[in-house]
């Protein structure tokens, strides 16, 4: 069965009929939907919360960075460009955050489109020079990848795999809390996969490091592309297998067991952490 997590915002499936740039050719003229990103926010029409359509909106010409073709959505070309932090928006346009933890109120399709735009712009801003010899790179035709004309090194957009896991023991769940989170909010154990590690061993290691316990019976339950800036979150549920709860105070402010039917303040419904708790805490 396909995990329902594919429909989480920031996953491309959320967009339905989206055709990415590499499978369709860029129109000659940049017209269509404008996915303009300023910091971690999306520029939208203030009255409708929709992205501008047509040519680049008046007042932004000459202030945005280069335009990049993202693909087509329901047949309409989508373009992205970065607007510098200090640029003021013309009347009628507003900036809406794309960050779920900052109270994002954009619909899921715009979060997904905005997330892809953020990843494309992040890639463009970090791939201009060859990581091996430092020469300016060139775009590989029909790809996001870059090639170095000096040493022929090629590289492609980087996604960083990270595991996230709900640890259960009968009718209780082990949740963690980082310093700086909204008071009372708890989430799941999570961390990046190391070189040479399988996803399973990353889950076991992260749980052991963060909360000191052992887990078994790992189950993959879904994934989410997370564009802050470029993680791929891979979700698991695991069963507690022993060990004493010990909080890693370098990483966490707190960790504790909660009854599955009395969980504290949840992660955002836009995140895979919220999805896992909603679907698997009380199964
Ligand atoms: Zn090079």
Residue 207 near residue 238, CB atoms below 8 Å: yes
- The β-bridge partners of 192 are 162
- Residue 67 structure tokens: 């335009």
- 124 alpha carbon – ligand 1 mean position (Å): 16
Q: State the CB neighbour count (10 A cutoff) for residue 85.
A: 8
As a whole number of Å, the end-to-end CA separation of the chain is 17
Give CA–CA dist 167/7, Å, rounded. Answer: 23
Please state which of the ranges 21-30, 59-68, 211-220 shows the lowest mean pLDDT: 21-30
Cα of 216 vs its chain's centroid, Å:
27
- 149 alpha carbon – ligand 1 mean position (Å): 7
Q: Is the confidence at residue 24, as pLDDT, over 80?
A: no
- The β-bridge partners of 41 are 38, 97
Which of the four pLDDT bands, split at 50, 70 and 90, describes residue 2?
low
Q: pLDDT (tens digit, 9 = 90+) per residue, 226-245?
A: 999 999 999 999 999 999 99
Q: Is the confidence at residue 25, as pLDDT, over 80?
A: no
Residue 274 near residue 204, CB atoms below 8 Å: no
pLDDT of 223 reads 96
**Element at 120 (helix H, strand E):** helix 108-126
Which of the four pLDDT bands, split at 50, 70 and 90, describes residue 4?
confident
State mean pLDDT over 95-100: 95
- 164 alpha carbon – ligand 1 mean position (Å): 35
- 144 alpha carbon – ligand 1 mean position (Å): 17
pLDDT of 5 reads 80
Cα of 261 vs its chain's centroid, Å:
28
Average pLDDT of the chain, as a whole number = 94
pLDDT of 139 reads 93
Q: Is the confidence at residue 1, as pLDDT, over 60?
A: no
- 96 alpha carbon – ligand 1 mean position (Å): 38
Any idea what DSSP says for residue 50? Answer: P
- 136 alpha carbon – ligand 1 mean position (Å): 8
Q: Is the confidence at residue 3, as pLDDT, over 70?
A: no
State mean pLDDT over 257-278: 91
- 193 alpha carbon – ligand 1 mean position (Å): 27
- 42 alpha carbon – ligand 1 mean position (Å): 34
């Amino acid at each position: 069965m396909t995990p329902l997590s594919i429909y989480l915002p920031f996953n491309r499936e959320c967009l339905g009929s989206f055709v990415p740039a590499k499978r369709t050719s860029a129109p000659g003229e940049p017209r269509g939907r404008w996915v303009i990103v300023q910091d971690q926010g999306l520029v939208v029409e203030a009255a409708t919360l929709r992205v501008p359509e047509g040519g680049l909106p008046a007042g932004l010409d000459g202030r945005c960075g280069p335009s990049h073709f993202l693909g087509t959505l329901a047949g309409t070309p989508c373009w992205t460009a970065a607007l510098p932090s200090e640029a003021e928006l013309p009347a009628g346009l507003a900036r809406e955050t794309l960050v779920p933890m900052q109270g994002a109120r954009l619909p899921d399709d715009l979060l997904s489109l905005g997330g892809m735009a953020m990843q494309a712009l992040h890639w463009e801003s970090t791939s201009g020079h060859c990581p091996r010899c430092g020469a300016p790179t060139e775009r590989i035709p029909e790809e996001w990848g870059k090639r170095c004309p000096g040493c022929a090194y090629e590289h492609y957009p980087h996604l960083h795999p990270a595991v996230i896991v709900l640890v259960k023991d009968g009718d209780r769940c082990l949740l963690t809390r980082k310093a700086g989170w909204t008071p009372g909010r708890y989430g799941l154990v999570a961390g990046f996969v190391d070189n040479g590690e399988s996803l399973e061993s990353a889950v076991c290691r992260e749980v052991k490091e963060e909360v000191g316990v052992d887990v078994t019976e790992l189950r993959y339950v879904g994934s989410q592309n997370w564009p802050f800036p470029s993680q791929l979150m891979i979700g698991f549920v695991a069963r507690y297998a022993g060990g004493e709860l010990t909080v890693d105070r370098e990483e966490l402010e707190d960790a504790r067991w909660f009854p599955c039917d009395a969980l504290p303040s949840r992660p955002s419904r836009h995140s895979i952490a919220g999805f896992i708790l909603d679907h698997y805490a009380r199964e």
